[in-house]
Structure 1
Amino acid sequence: MSHAARWWLLSDLHLGVSDDDPRCPGRVLSEFLYRQVLAASGPQQHVAFVGDTFELVGFAEDESLARLESILARHLDTFRALKACAARGVQLHFVCGNHDVELARPSVAARLSALLSPAEPTRVRVHPWFLHVPHVLVAEHGHQHHALHRMPEVLRAAVNGTDELNLPPLAAWNAHPSRSHLSRAGAVARACLASERAERRVRELAYDELLQTESLRLALDGVAVRDLARLSRFRTVSALPVAATRMVLSATGRRVTGEKAPAAAGRFARTLEAHGSGVSWYVSGHTHRALESALEACPTRYVNTGTWCSDVRGRGPDQSDRRAFPYAVVDVARDGTTTGGLRYWRPNGG
Structure 2
Amino acid sequence: MSGAARWWLLSDLHLGVSDDDPRHQGRVLPEFLRREVLATTDPQLSVAFVGDTFELVGLSEDESLARLESILAHHADTFRALRACAARGAQLHFVCGNHDVELARPSVAARLSALLSPDEPTRVQVHPWFLHVPRVLVAEHGHQHHSLHRIPEVLRAAINGTDELAPPPLAAWNAQPSRSRLSRAGAVARACLASERGERRVREFAYDELLQAESLRLELDGVAVRDLAHLSRFRTVSALPVAATRMVLGATGRRVTGEQAPAAAGRFARTLEAHGSGVAWYVSGHTHHALESALEGCATRYVNTGTWCSDVRGRGPDQSDRRAFPYVVVDVDPDGATSGGLRYWRPHEG
- Structure 2 distance, partners of 1:42, 1:248, is 49
Q: Distance in 2 between matches of 1:51 and 1:108?
A: 15
- Write out per-residue CA displacement over residues 286-336 of structure 1, whole angstroms, 9 at most, x where no aligned residue: 000000000011110000000000010121000000000000000000010
TM-score by length of 1: 0.99
Q: What residue is the counterpart of 2:293 in the other structure?
A: 293
Per the alignment, residue 33 of structure 2 pairs with: 33
Q: Is the 8 A contact 2:16 2:71 kept in 1?
A: yes
Q: Find the counterpart in structure 1 of residue 262 from structure 2.
A: 262
What is the Cα deviation at residue 253 of structure 1? 1.7
> CA–CA distance in 2 between the matches of 1:331 and 1:38?
16
> Any idea what SS the aligned residue of 1:8 has?
strand
TM-score (norm. length: structure 2): 0.99
8 Å CA contact 2:95, 2:140 repeated in 1: yes
CA distance in 1, matches of 2:62, 2:7: 33
1:130-187 deviation digits (Å, cap 9, x = unpaired): 0000000000000000010001101011012364310100101001111111111111
Look up the match of 1:140: 140
Match of 1:234 in 2: 234
The SS at the match of 1:293 is: strand
Q: What aligned pairs does 1:84-163 form with structure 2 within 5 A after superposition?
A: 84-161=84-161, 163=163
2:68 aligns with: 68
Label 1:224 to 1:259 Cα distance change in 2 as closer, same or farther (>3 A).
same
Given that 2:156 and 2:163 are in contact with CA atoms closer than 8 Å, whether structure 1 keeps it comes out as no
1:272, 1:94 → 2: CA distance?
22
Quick one: which amino acid aligns to residue 277 of structure 1?
Answer: S
List runs of 5+ in structure 1 lacking aligned partners. none
- What is the CA–CA distance in structure 2 between the aligned matches of 1:349 and 1:24, rounded to whole Å? 14
Match of 1:168 in 2: 168
Going from structure 1 to structure 2, the CA distance change for 1:349 and 1:137 (only over 3 Å counts) comes to farther
The corresponding residue for 1:344 is 344
Supply the distance in 2 between the matched residues of 1:162 and 1:325 (Cα, whole angstroms): 35
Task: State the Cα distance separating 1:257 from its structure 2 match.
Answer: 2.3
Question: Any gaps of 5 or more consecutive residues in structure 2?
Answer: none
Q: Supply the distance in 2 between the matched residues of 1:44 and 1:254 (Cα, whole angstroms).
A: 42
State how far apart, in whole Å, the 2-side matches of 1:228 and 1:53 are.
24
What secondary structure, in the 3-state scheme, does the structure 2 residue paired with 1:286 have? Answer: coil
Amino acid corresponding to residue 200 of structure 1 in structure 2 = R
- Hey, what does 2:213 align to over in structure 1? 213
The equivalent of 2:22 in structure 1 is 22
Say how many residue pairs are matched: 350
Q: Percent identity?
A: 87
Q: Which amino acid aligns with 1:311?
A: D
Is 1:182 the counterpart of 2:147? The answer is: no
Code of the residue aligned with 1:319 in structure 2: it is: Q
The residue type equivalent to 2:280 in the other structure is: S
Q: 1:46-57 counterparts in 2 under 5 A? A: 46-57=46-57
Query: For residue 43 of structure 1, what is the amino acid of its counterpart?
Result: P
Q: Secondary structure at the match of 1:86?
A: helix
1:349 to partner: Cα distance: 7.4
Q: Please provide the CA RMSD for this pair.
A: 1.0
Q: Which amino acid aligns with 1:212?
A: Q
Q: Residue 298 of structure 1 aligns to a residue in which SS?
A: coil
1:224 aligns with 2:224: yes
Q: CA deviation at 1:207?
A: 0.3
Cα distance between partner residues in 2 of 1:66 and 1:252: 34
Match for 1:120: what amino acid? E
Question: SS of the counterpart of 1:7?
Answer: strand
- Whole-angstrom distance in 1 between the partners of 2:251 and 2:124: 40
Describe the superposition over 1:179-213 as per-residue Cα deviations: whole angstroms up to 9, x where unpaired. 11111111111111111111010011110000000
SS, match of residue 296 in structure 1: coil
Give me the whole-angstrom Cα distance separating, in 1, the residues matched to 2:175 and 2:335: 49
Counterpart residue identity of residue 182, structure 2: L
Opposite residue 52 of structure 2, the aligned amino acid is D
Q: Is the Cα contact below 8 Å between 1:173 and 1:185 reproduced in 2?
A: yes
